[in-house]
């Protein structure tokens, strides 16, 4: 026997099913509100764009000098938001190489999406942390050319700053201001000392909105490596500091103040 439902009841059931289905639709996933940043690296001495191979600069110790090569690593770039949260740049490149002789390394098109919002400061590690600074992790030049000797701790240079200076007798000498892992052999025991350091760029707050790209210029003020906490004199330390932890420590302490913001737009 077939039982026929009354038409009004059938319509009511259909309406109820429609309302139930409508109420249980999955809510759409909101599109993340992200932007992008591009970092531009510039190198100044005494407030002016640095000129290579020109023996015209004078540091705080009255050493006349020039810069012929400058190359370095920055890592763990971190953007701090006003609410205390942070964005660490590590999705594609987390250790970035800068070389004044390779123009492509002066621009970092950061791959990571940057959540929209207000940021309080830009921070990074100058060099490479102990956990990440492993020998042979770079297999191709130019990064592989930054290898630090195994006998001095291995891994890679944080910086090669090479040039010339006039010594006390006005003779022109080469200097190699190479910063990396230090070595202490006091008491017959060998201890390796990490000379990387964290940098917080002064006055580097900015805001970024959805789909916006911010270009940020970071300036290295080269003269600051030789002044500030310590006055660095090549006539005292000589031209090579790789195996001189005292000299490297003074360079590193000064270097914390060697960076400033150029512009954000």
pLDDT tens column, 192-210: 999 999 999 999 999 999 9
User: What per-residue confidence (pLDDT) applies to 16?
Assistant: 52
Q: Using CA of residue 154, residue 159, residue 160, residue 163, what is the dihedral sign?
A: negative
User: What per-residue confidence (pLDDT) applies to 185?
Assistant: 85
Residue 208 domain flag: yes
Residue 1 domain flag: no
Residue 244 domain flag: yes
pLDDT at 52 over 60: yes
pLDDT tens column, 163-189: 999 999 999 999 999 999 999 988 888
Residue 30 domain flag: yes
Alpha carbon distance 204, 216 (integer Å): 9
CB 90 within 8 A of CB 82: no
Percent of the chain at pLDDT exceeding 70: 88
Mean pLDDT of 113-129: 97
The least confident of 9-13, 65-69, 170-174, 175-179 is 9-13
Q: pLDDT-derived band of residue 157, with 50, 70 and 90 as boundaries?
A: very high
Residue 18 domain flag: yes
Residue 5 domain flag: no
Alpha carbon distance 119, 188 (integer Å): 48
Residue 180 domain flag: yes
Alpha carbon distance 216, 262 (integer Å): 7
The total of structural domains in the chain comes to 1
Tell me the pLDDT of the chain averaged across its residues: 91
Which stretches of 19-152 are assigned E, i.e. beta strand? 34-45, 48-49, 57-58, 64-81, 86-88, 95-99, 107-109, 114-115, 117-126
Residue 27 domain flag: yes
Cα Rg, the chain, nearest whole Å: 28
User: What per-residue confidence (pLDDT) applies to 31?
Assistant: 60
The least confident of 11-20, 42-51, 136-145 is 11-20
CB 124 within 8 A of CB 76: yes
pLDDT at 10 over 90: no
Domain range enclosing 65: 10-264
């Amino acid at each position: 026997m077939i039982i026929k439902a009354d038409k009004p009841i059938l319509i009511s059931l259909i309406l109820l099913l429609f309302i139930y289905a409508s109420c249980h639709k999955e809510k759409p996933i909101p599109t993340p509100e992200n932007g992008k940043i591009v970092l531009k690296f510039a190198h100044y001495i005494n407030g002016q764009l640095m000129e290579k191979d020109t023996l015209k600069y004078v540091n705080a110790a009255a050493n006349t000098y020039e810069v012929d090569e400058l190359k370095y690593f920055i890592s763990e770039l971190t953007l701090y938001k006003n609410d205390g949260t942070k964005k660490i740049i590590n999705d594609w490149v987390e250790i970035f190489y800068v070389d004044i002789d390779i123009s492509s390394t002066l621009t970092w098109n950061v791959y990571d999406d940057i959540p929209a919002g207000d940021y309080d400061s830009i921070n990074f590690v100058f060099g490479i942390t102990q956990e990440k600074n492993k020998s042979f992790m770079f297999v191709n030049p130019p990064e592989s050319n930054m290898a630090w000797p195994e006998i001095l701790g291995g891994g890679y240079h944080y910086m090669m700053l090479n040039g010339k200076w006039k010594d006390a007798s006005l003779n022109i000498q080469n200097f190699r201001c190479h910063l990396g892992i230090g070595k202490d052999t006091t008491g017959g025991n060998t201890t390796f000392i990490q000379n990387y350091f964290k940098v917080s760029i002064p006055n580097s707050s900015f805001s970024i909105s959805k789909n916006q790209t911010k270009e940020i210029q970071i300036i290295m003020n080269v003269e600051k490596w030789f002044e500030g906490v310590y006055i660095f004199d090549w006539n005292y330390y000589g031209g090579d500091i790789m195996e001189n932890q005292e000299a490297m420590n003074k360079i590193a302490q000064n270097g914390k103040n060697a960076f400033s913001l150029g512009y954000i737009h």
